[in-house]
Amino acid sequence: MVEDRGKEVVVDIQTVEDWLSHAQELVPVALDKAREVKGFPGRWKMIISKLEQIPSRLSDLSSHPCFSKNALCKEQLQAVSKTLKEAIELAGLCMGENYGGKLRMQSDLDALSGKLDLNLRDCGLLIKTGVLGEATLPLAVASSSSEPEAAIHSNTRELLARLQIGHLEAKHRALDTLVEVMKEDEKAVLAVLGRSNVAALVQLLTATSPRIREKAVTVICSLAESGSCENWLVSEGLLPPLIRLVESGSAVGREKATISLQRLSMSADTARAIVGHGGIRPLIEICRTGDSVSQAAAACTLKNISAVPEVRQNLAEEGIVKVMINLLDCGILLGSKEYASECLQNLTASNDNLKRAVISEGGIRSLLVYLDGPLPQESAVGALRNLVSSVSAEMLISYAFLPRLAHVLKSGSLGAQQAAASAICRVCTSAEMKKLAGEAGCIPLLIKLLEAKSNSVREVSAQAISSLVSVSQNRREVKRDDKSVPNLVQLLDPVPQNTAKKYAVASLASLASCKKCKKLMISYGAIGYLKKLTEMDIPGSKKLLERLERGKLRGFFSKK
């Protein structure tokens, strides 16, 4: 092959200036030879037009102040000289009609034209990338602690430039080194990373070599997780090749691509774009068949996508409901189950059709079983809260729904406890359900939540209590709890940030028929609070104030 014939090395050329002179001397020789060729006129005309551009590119390169200090310049001049020698050799063969066959020569000329394109492009890129701005030290995988920061940046900048310059094998070697550098010092790479470097990495995702694609996506995954160049990655066309890797890449490639999508899908715009590029189906397939890490990453990506209301129907059409319920039942990692419950919470937030789909696929049972764990999660309670209004009380009773909510109130995170209190408000609309909530042990747990630091938790807990105390059995339990009245009185505080006021008034009004409770309310300062709430027109505050003041007056005269 001509490529083999062109591997001669001029051993006496050492410096970058020598290589420049050598290339400049070869250009006119190559042009003269090319112009003399009679055969293959179309191909040679194109080759000549490219040869004529080389002097100006060499001039631009050599005029840079750091031209003689940069290893990439020397390598580029060596590549240009090799291509020029190949042009001279091919021209000689064509003139003497001394070649093995017309088809082979056509192929060799096409390859030469491609090499000239690469040389011209790479000379331009050397200037554009800014890599010539600093002298480059010998490339090292890891810099010693004594090496100045500027030198590390220079070294890294050259490495990134190598991803854009030269043939595929050279880029492969640069990629190998970059993977190691990212492991050792990711910040050094991020400090000098430019948009053109990101574009080069994205292009490598479509390389024919699976190993190059795998290493490129490994670097891209690190960049995505760093959160420093998400917009560049997406705008440079990352999503389509990334989705193809999720679909048909190697095990490592699929994992890294899925983790990248997980991070990028946190943006609603990118989540929509993933849907637009056909990303839902391969992600769902990873949830069905992937390994533990890929499965969790795919579930999280779909959860992020499900947060965008307008694409939820697209997700449903691809069968996401069944897949997420299956993950709840059989997910390899706990994280996968958590993402699945969050996804179901998003899907059931407002769409009645999706609520029915979750219920018909057995979603309520799976969510409740998931809640039985030692640390009940907020998302599962939230999903159940979205669903309870669409199912009968009989079904909820058969699933021991209220005892399970009591478990959440006792053992869940604060967010889960808040969601459980909210679910109680939604489901306990009948006297029977309110009575069952009391029997399940919810009331003492709700009273305890009135002490929470979060105002929203206090509000929903007070709301739940104000609903449950309409049943006499529950009222008695509230009266027996020593903390109930003091906690509720504290929630009469008229400050604007206290949004539980009206529920505290309603709850205390239900207890005001009890002399002991009335005395406690007065002793904890309820009258002072209620006077201010009456001025603010808080419902029920005036009536409760009057009852407490009458009781206080009767108590005054009885002492006489």
pLDDT, one tens digit per residue, over 93-151 is 998 877 778 898 999 999 999 999 989 988 887 777 665 654 344 444 334 444 556 65
Query: CA–CA separation, 204 vs 201, rounded Å?
Result: 5
Residues present in the chain in total? 560
Q: Is the predicted pLDDT of residue 354 greater than 80, yes or no?
A: yes
Q: Is 511 exposed, middle or buried (0-12, 13-18, 19+ CB in 10 A)?
A: buried
Tens digit of pLDDT for each residue in 519-543? 999 999 999 999 999 999 999 999 9
pTM higher than 0.85:
no
Q: Which of 483, 479, 446 is nearest to 461 (CA)?
A: 446
Q: Is the predicted pLDDT of residue 440 greater than 90, yes or no?
A: yes
Average pLDDT rounded to a whole number, residues 420-445: 96
Report residue 34's pLDDT band, with 50, 70 and 90 as the boundaries. Answer: very high
Lowest mean pLDDT among 46-55, 57-66, 341-350: 57-66
Query: CA–CA separation, 400 vs 372, rounded Å?
Result: 11
Lowest mean pLDDT among 58-62, 123-127, 394-398: 123-127
Is 215 in a helix, a strand, or coil?
Answer: helix
Q: Is the predicted pLDDT of residue 253 greater than 80, yes or no?
A: yes
Average pLDDT rounded to a whole number, residues 265-287: 97
- Structure-block tokens of residue 328: 């709840």
Query: CA–CA separation, 4 vs 133, rounded Å?
Result: 35
C-alpha to C-alpha distances, 73 to 138, 169, 179, 314, nearest whole angstrom: 13, 18, 24, 52
Q: Which of 525, 502, 433 is nearest to 474 (CA)?
A: 433
Ordered DSSP codes for 70-94 = -HHHHHHHHHHHHHHHHHHHHHHHH
Q: Which of 261, 293, 256 is nearest to 280 (CA)?
A: 261
Give residues with Cβ within 8 angstroms of 274, minimum separation 6: 239, 243, 261, 264, 265, 280, 301, 305
- Report CA 280 to chain centroid distance, whole Å: 15
Asked if residues 14 and 69 have their Cβ atoms less than 8 Å apart, the reply is no
Average pLDDT rounded to a whole number, residues 375-389: 94
Query: CA–CA separation, 44 vs 464, rounded Å?
Result: 85
Report residue 65's pLDDT band, with 50, 70 and 90 as the boundaries. Answer: confident
pLDDT at position 68, please? 76
| pLDDT more than 90, % of the chain | 71
Query: CA–CA separation, 382 vs 391, rounded Å?
Result: 15
Helices (DSSP H) in 361-490: which residue ranges? 363-371, 378-387, 393-398, 401-411, 414-427, 431-439, 442-449, 455-468, 472-480, 484-490
Q: Which residues of 390-404 are buried (b: 16+ CB within 10 A; e: fewer)?
A: ebebeebeebebbeb
Mean pLDDT in the chain? 89
Lowest mean pLDDT among 14-18, 274-278, 303-307: 14-18
- Structure-block tokens of residue 130: 């800014």
Other residues' Cβ atoms within 10 Å of the Cβ of residue 350: 11
Tens digit of pLDDT for each residue in 182-221? 888 888 888 888 888 899 899 999 988 899 999 999 999 9
pLDDT at position 560, please? 44
Q: Is the predicted pLDDT of residue 156 greater than 60, yes or no?
A: yes
Tens digit of pLDDT for each residue in 40-53? 999 999 999 999 99
Q: Is the predicted pLDDT of residue 418 greater than 80, yes or no?
A: yes
Query: CA–CA separation, 183 vs 189, rounded Å?
Result: 10
Q: Which residues of 121-154 are buried (b: 16+ CB within 10 A; e: fewer)?
A: ebbebbeebebbebebeeeeeebeeeeeeebbbb
pLDDT at position 369, please? 94
Average pLDDT rounded to a whole number, residues 351-368: 95
Query: CA–CA separation, 124 vs 122, rounded Å?
Result: 5
Q: Is the predicted pLDDT of residue 497 greater than 90, yes or no?
A: yes
pLDDT at position 11, please? 44
pLDDT at position 337, please? 95
pLDDT at position 133, please? 56
